[in-house]
Amino acid sequence: MNVLEVEQLRHYWDDGVEVLDIESLVLAQGEKLLLTGASGSGKSTLLNIIAGLLAPNSGKVFFQGELTSGLAPSKRDALRASQMGIIYQQLNLLPYLNALDNVRTTLAVSGRRESQTPETLLSNLGIDAALQRKPVTKLSLGQKQRVAIARALIAQPSLILADEPTASLDKHNRDNFMQLLMAQLADSDSALLMVSHDPAIAEMGFDRVVSLAEVNRVLA
Amino acid sequence: MFWLKLSWASLWHRRAMSIVSLLALTVTIGLWLSVEQVRVQSKAHFSQAISGTDMIVGAKGGEINLLLYSVFHMGEPISDIRWQTVEALRERDEVAWVVPIALGDSHRGFRVVGTEPEFFQRYQFRQGQPLNFNVGAAFAGVNDVVVGAQVAKRLGYSIGDQLTITHGLQAMAMAEHDEHPFTITGILAPTGTPVDQALYVSLEALHQIHANWQLGSMVPGSNVLGRFQPKTVTAAFVGLERRTLVFRLQRWIQNYRTEPIQGILPGVALTRLWQMHAISEQALRLIAGLVVLCGLLVLLAQNMANVLLRQEEYRLLRLTGMRHWRIVLLVCTENAMITTFASLLSVLVVMLVGELLHEWVLSEFGIWFSILVPTLWQWLALLGLVVMSALLPVIPMWQHRSKDQHG
């Protein structure tokens, strides 16, 4: 079964410049897809549309067979909260919460029950009890990224969207991050759609690697 | 519980601004509570000036006027009543006790009240509290005087000090009854009533000094000694055997033919008198309301500014999938928290200040007030304030939503 289907998607910037023209993009359940492309090629815009944060100008987005691009904003919010986990390049952790509460926020918003407690998941990702209770502003970049992974995974989402999560990392930290993410996803049914301009991560366990230029006719 | 924690964490993250808001609201609510308490306490202070007296009898005229000059020592009596009337009252079956008072003299701006020693047992205030002596005792002779707490404090009197009283209410040297000095035998404990601002001598003493006084100046060589029976007094405080007898006594007073007299019920007259001052009560209420309105407007302005300042925070919350109404609810909860803390802090501060100043205000200014625990109505008003403040962010947050790219 496909988790995600994008059909005839078109989107324009406010100034009328077309940024996305995608005929079709499909992601199967549990599939790990890397979408590569240069900066400014519309990768983040595509993820925002899939996440329901942005409404496309035309086209359809199906999530688990349900048309989501026409849903009301509140329903898209609910869908994102309950079915999607998102990892951003800027991580977007709530600065006034500690690591543990950042993860708990996702659970509270989604209303879903966790398969493992936030404490356990964070511990598995190398964030010990003391670090879990530290404000995220006091954590290192690597530690924040692990918290971001935990936050995306805790509600067992069907789809994880990762928007250039390794863009600001050096090679060592990038590899660590990818290993941790893939290790956590190995035992789950969650699909992963990661976008990146870094072709080096293509060898890190993805089922499929697609260049945005292949699917986005604007870039052709 | 998690949502409360989230609101608290957000408030704490912006603690400088939160503390400023808290202080601003505490001052606002504290001011409102203080004004409210002044209003409530003024009413109580006013209405509790006399208690335990079932009726005040005086010359026929306005009932408010009788109340003002007999209890509050304000204004001039229209006329006196005859001693014969006092005795007639004492003979009535309905009457348990009668304490006459005679006004007309003063001492350095304070009224002198001629009365009987029984006055100190019968006069009660604030729901039946009796008069107590700080030091000394009631007058026993024609040269004795008892002074109220404020008189003693302001004029620096103590037991054994001597004073003279002035004929009439104006402090003219020529009108001084200096041929009849009085010795202070008692100083009353503060009551927060007009009793504190008066001097008390025997009716006999007043008669003596006025018997030597003709046409506004002393007749040289005249003297009166021995017992006497006063011809007139200003009014009489009356206690009844049973309060239900009040109507019977009223009927008797209305049909009294010796002279025109009236009997007023102090509680009823006090209420009418307060109603005449309703405008000041309304003014105090208006001020209190405006103070609260100012506080709410400050909070609204801050909320409107926050909507712009906290865009990034709202964006992060939205990214987690949090719905817009939930974010609005979080901000409303923050407001409710600040207002609740500010309300409790205000109540605490007002009560603490009241507790600390209670004795001092009574002794310095003769104003009594109970410890300033908010009334039920004030608690409900505070609750309403919390709800109103909680609802304030709804409009700016909703406006923000319309500009949200998400729509």
d(CA A57, CA A43): 16
User: Helix or strand or coil: residue B286?
Assistant: helix
Residues of B in contact with A108 (CB under 8 A): 2-3, 6
Give the per-residue pLDDT at B366: 64
Kindly list the residues from chain A whose CB atom is less than 8 angstroms away from the CB atom of residue B322. 77, 81, 105, 109
The count of other CB atoms within 10 Å of the CB of residue B294 is: 14
Put simply, whether B173 touches A (Cβ < 8 Å) is no
Q: Is B324 on the interface with A (CB under 8 A)?
A: yes
Contact B182, B204 (CB under 8 A): no
Inform me whether the C-beta atom of residue B3 falls under 8 Å from chain A C-beta atoms.
yes
Cβ of A54 and B12 within 8 Å? no
Query: Under a CB-based contact definition with an 8 Å cutoff, are residues A80 and A52 in contact?
Result: yes
The identity of residue B320, as a single letter, is T
Predicted TM-score of the model (pTM): 0.69
The answer to whether the Cβ–Cβ distance between B323 and A105 falls below 8 Å is no
| CA quadruple A66, A67, A68, A73: dihedral, nearest 10 | -110
**Tally of CA atoms within 13 A in the half-sphere of B301 that contains its CB:** 9
pLDDT digits (tens, 9 = 90+) for A124-141: 888 999 999 999 999 988
Helix (H) or strand (E) holding A162, with range, is strand A159-163
Contacts (Cβ under 8 Å, ≥6 apart) of B380:
none
Chain A residues in contact with B407 (beta carbon < 8 A) = 55, 73
Q: Give me the mean pLDDT over the A12-41 stretch.
A: 88
Nearest to B323 among A78, A101, A151 (CB): A78
Question: Which residue among A88, A94, A110 places its CB closest to the CB of B321?
Answer: A110
Q: Is residue A41's pLDDT more than 60?
A: yes
pLDDT per residue as tens digits for the range A63-91: 988 898 888 888 888 888 888 999 988 78
A77 contacts on B by Cβ (under 8 Å): 318, 321-324
What is the spatial distance between Cα B387 and Cα B343, in angstroms, rounded to a whole number?
12
- For chains A and B, what is the number of CB pairs under 8 angstroms? 63
**Rounded Cα distance, B392 and B330, in Å:** 12
Instruction: Give the chain B residue nearest A73 (alpha carbons).
Output: B407
Residues of chain B with pLDDT below 70 are 169-175, 211-228, 363-368, 370-371, 401-407
pLDDT value at residue B224 = 44
Inter-residue long-range contacts of A27-30, CB under 8 Å, 24+ positions, other chains counted: A27/A2, A27/A3, A27/A159, A27/A191, A27/A193, A28/A1, A28/A2, A28/A3, A28/A191, A29/A1, A29/A2, A29/A3, A29/A158, A29/A189, A29/A191, A30/A188, A30/A189, A30/A190, A30/A191
Q: What is the pLDDT of residue B133?
A: 95
- Between residues B340 and A44, which one has the greater pLDDT? B340
Structure tokens at B241: 């055997």
Alpha carbon distance, N-terminus to C-terminus of chain A: 29
Q: Are residues A109 and B12, on separate chains, in Cβ contact within 8 Å?
A: no
How far apart are the C-alpha atoms of B290 and B323, rounded to whole Å? 36
pLDDT of A145 reads 86
Gyration radius from chain B CA atoms:
30
Inter-chain CB proximity B406 and A78 less than 8 Å:
no
Which chain A residue's Cα is nearest to B3?
A108
**Spatial distance between the Cα atoms of B286 and B32, rounded to a whole number of angstroms:** 10
- pLDDT at position A14: 82
- Predicted local distance difference test score (pLDDT) of residue A89: 80
Interatomic CA distance for residues B25 and B294, integer angstroms: 10
Q: Region A145-162: what's the mean pLDDT?
A: 89
- Taking the Cβ of residue B16 and every Cβ of chain A, the question of whether any pair is shorter than 8 Å is answered with no
- Answer whether A77 sits within 8 Å of B321, measured CB to CB: yes
Q: Is B406 on the interface with A (CB under 8 A)?
A: yes
Q: What is the pLDDT of chain A when averaged over all its residues?
A: 87
Let me know if B159 is exposed, middle or buried by CB neighbors in 10 A (0-12, 13-18, 19+).
middle
pLDDT at B38: 79
Contact B316 A96 (CB under 8 A): no
Q: Compare CB distances from B9 to A78, A92, A101 and report the shortest one's residue.
A: A101
Nearest by CB: B321 against A55, A88, A109: A109
The CA distance from B195 to A56, in Å, is 83
pLDDT in tens, A84-112: 999 988 788 988 899 999 999 888 888 77
pLDDT at B135: 94
Q: What are phi and psi of B230, to 5 degrees?
A: -65, 145
Closest CA to B40 of B356, B269, B350, B357: B350
pLDDT score for A219: 67
